[in-house]
Amino acid sequence: AAGVIQSPRHLIKEKRETATLKCYPIPRHDTVYWYQQGPGQDPQFLISFYEKMQSDKGSIPDRFSAQQFSDYHSELNMSSLELGDSALYFCASSLVRGSPRNQETQYFGPGTRLLVL
């Protein structure tokens, strides 16, 4: 079965540079979530999109922005990178439409490992 695709898998940037991470959800999934996992930490929710509209916002820095496109893929744009942004960035997708009582399951991509030097 098709899974969530993330690109690139690894990214090295310098401080103050910008980065763009891409996420392609499971086909027919309508919701995308972004999470950030620092070294030795649990994943922290950043932002989500349902049907191309931002649905929820977590602890996403103002330097970051994201959007979901008409083909449902999503991009996380990160500017003025800082050393503390080094982390594993996960995208997850789910099918919310028709899911009773909010019980849909989020399936995660393999992650993008970002290293800021």
Partner 1 sequence: AQKVTQAQTEISVVEKEDVTLDCVYETRDTTYYLFWYKQPPSGELVFLIRRNSFDEQNEISGRYSWNFQKSTSSFNFTITASQVVDSAVYFCALKTVSSGSARQLTFGSGTQLTVLP
- Least separation, in Å, of the C-beta of 101 and partner 1? 6
- Least separation, in Å, of the C-beta of 117 and partner 1? 20
**Strand 31-37 with 44-50, pairing:** antiparallel
DSSP-assigned letter for residue 27: T
Q: Which residues bind partner 1 (CB under 8 A)?
A: 31, 33, 35, 41-45, 48, 55-56, 58, 88, 90, 92, 94, 96, 101-111, 113
Distance (Å) of CA 36 to CA 49, 51, 71, 78:
16, 22, 23, 12
Using only the alpha carbons of the chain, give its radius of gyration. Answer: 14
DSSP-assigned letter for residue 26: P
Rank residues 17 and 56 by Cβ distance to partner 1 and give the closer one: 56
Rank residues 56 and 82 by Cβ distance to partner 1 and give the closer one: 56
- Least separation, in Å, of the C-beta of 16 and partner 1? 26
